[in-house]
Structure 1
C-alpha cells in the first residue's frame, strides 16, 4: 500500500504541474490574441462606417491615440468594437493615414497644368483620363503620396503632388450639432414648396421624420436653429423644417430666401425633356424621352447623396407641359433648373456632341460653369455655350439651362450615349459644375 502511494504522489504532482502549465499557456495566448486584436489609431481622425466600404454612412469618428478592438477583417476592412460597444467598420489602410470622405465634403483642386487620373494609386495603373489645372474634385482620402478622388462617378487616384486640398464644403452629416436658437420676429408663416416635405424631430437631415407636409401648407414659425425652422402645423404638431424647402410668406414684410453658399443648401429642379405622348427625338434603340429620364433619375440620385433638395418635373413616362415645367421651377424658387435633352438633326450624322443653352443673360454664368465641366474628358465633341430661345428657359424666373447631351441620330453619339460610362460622365460633370457654381 505504501509503495502504491509513493508511486501515485509523483504522478499527481506531474498532472498538477501540467495543468498549471496549460493554464499559463492558455492565459498567455489569450493575452497575445487580445493584443493582436487591438489596434491604436495613429491618424488624427478616422471615420467609422456602418459597413465595409466608403459608400456606407459614417456612424462616428475616432481620434488619434484611441484603441479599437478588431472583430474580423473583410476585404481590407476591419469590423471593430468601440469603447462604448458600438460595432462599425474602418478601412485597414486608414489607421495610420488621413481620410477625407465624401460625407466630410473635402475638395481638391488640380494644381498642375494636366494630371493623369488613374485606376489605382501607382504609376503603373491604368490612366482613366486627364484633369486640367483648376479642376475641382471630391477627395476621399490620401495614402503614400496618392490621393483617392471621385471621378466621373467612380473612385480613382491622382498623385498628391498634383492636387491641393483647397476647401471644405458644409458637412451634410454633422457629428455634433449645437445650433444657436433665435427668433426672427419678421417671420410669421412658412409655406411649403413641395409635396411630401419632411418635418423632422430636430434641426438636421439625420433626425427622424415626424410627419410630412403637403405643397402649399402654411406652417406657423416658432424659432430659427441654424438653417432650420422650428414650426407648428394646423394640428398643433411641432417639428423642424429646412429653410431651403419653404418660402417665407403670410406677412407683408417677409424676409428674402437664405443665401446659398454650398450645393447641399440648394433646391435643384431637374427636368427630363419630353415624356408621355411627346417622344422627342426618335432613335433606333429608344426615344429621347427615355434617354432624358434615365439621365435625370441618375442625376437626382447623385445630388440627393450630397444632401441637395431635388425636385423632378417628371419621374416616369408622363407628359408635362412646357408651362408646367417652368411653373414648377418658379413655384419652388429653385436655385437652379436643369433641363436634360438629347438632340437630332434632319440629316443623320450631320452634328455630334454636347451643347449648353441659356436664355437670360443672368443665367450665362451657370451655363458656362456647366459647359466648362462638360469639356473635361468628354468622349463627344463639345459645342460650347449658346443662347437658346426655349420656353422652359424664357418663362423661367430662376437660374436655368438646357443641356443637349448628344445626337440620337449620330452613329457615334448614339453608341456612346447608351453606355453606363457616358451616363456616369454626364451626371458627375453636372454635379461637379453645380458644386463649383454654388461654392463660388
Structure 2
C-alpha cells in the first residue's frame, strides 16, 4: 500500500513538473477575448505591466506555462493570461519558410508583427503604394536599425497589408518585411499586387535606338538645323530653370521633410477636462489641421494616434525613434489649479536643435494667436527626454481657464495656431 502511494506521489510530481510548460516551437495564434488584457514581464499577476492588448487583437504564443502564454512586445519577452485568449484556428498560417529555429529568431519575427499592436491598422486586401524616394530600404522589422532585406527604387509599386507606427508590412520572397511609409505615396487606384511580393522594377528606359542610328535616319539638312538649335539652347539663360525651381520650392517648402505629430492623451486618458471639452479631443482636432496643412506644403506626416486611442508615452516615443522624423511635435492643451493661469508655451528637451525649434514655433505662435506668451522652456517630459529626434511639446492654452477655454475650442483659434506652428517650422527648416 505504501509502495502504491509513493508511486502515486511520484506520478503527481512528474505531472506538475512536466505538464505545465508547453513549448510552441512555431508559435500558435490566439485572439484576445477580454476588453483589454495586460502584457506582463513575467508569468505572474504581480509582475510589471509592459503594455496592453485590446479585444479581438491577434497575438502569437510561443510557450505556455501554468496558464500563462509567452509572446514578445517591443522586442521584449512578455506574458499574457491564457484564460483571456481563445485559439484563432481559422487564421491563415504563416508561410513555412517564415518559421524560425531559435527563440532569438522567434523574438525578431514576433517583434516585427506584434510590436505596437495596439495601434496597428490592418489592410485585409492590401493597399497599393509607389516609392517616391530615389531608393528605399526594405527591412526585416519595423525598425530603422533592422537588417536590410532588399531595396526598392523610385517609381516601383508595393502592396502594403498592415500599417504600424509609420511602417508598412509587405512580403518579399514569401518573407514578411517592412518599409517606411513616409517614403511612399499611396496610389489613387487601390490595385492589388497579386501575391503581395515586392513588385518587379519598373524602370523607364531610353529608346533602344542609338544616337548613331538616329543621325543616319535624319535628313541631310538636319545637321545645320541642329547646330542652330544647339546655339539657341546655349544662349538660353539658366535663370528660367532656377526660377521654376524656386517657384516649386515656394509651393512645397516642406518637400522631403517628415514629421511625427503626437496628439496628446487619448482613449482612457482624457487629459485636462474642461466644462465642455476634453484635452484629448482638442489635441486630435488641432493635429489633423496641422497634418493637412503640412501635407499640402509637401511634407510627409505620421500620427501617433489618428482616433480616440490610448497610447503609452513609451509607445509615442517609439514611433519617433523608429521612423527618424525631422521633428516630433506633441500637441496639448494646458490645465492648472490656478484657474487664472493662461497662455501658450512650448517645451523642449535639453538639446540645441530642439531649443531652437521650440523658440521658432513659440515666436511664430505669438504672431498668430491672441493669447499670453508663456515662452519656450526646457522640460523633462518623457516624450521629449526619451526621444532621439528633434522634439517639442506645445501647450496651446488653458482648458482650466473658463474664458480661454471658450477661445481654444473654436476652429478659428485652432486654425490660427496651426498656421503659427507651420510658420515656425518653416522659419526653422528653411
Q: TM-score, normalised by structure 2?
A: 0.46
Q: Greater helix percent: which structure?
A: 2
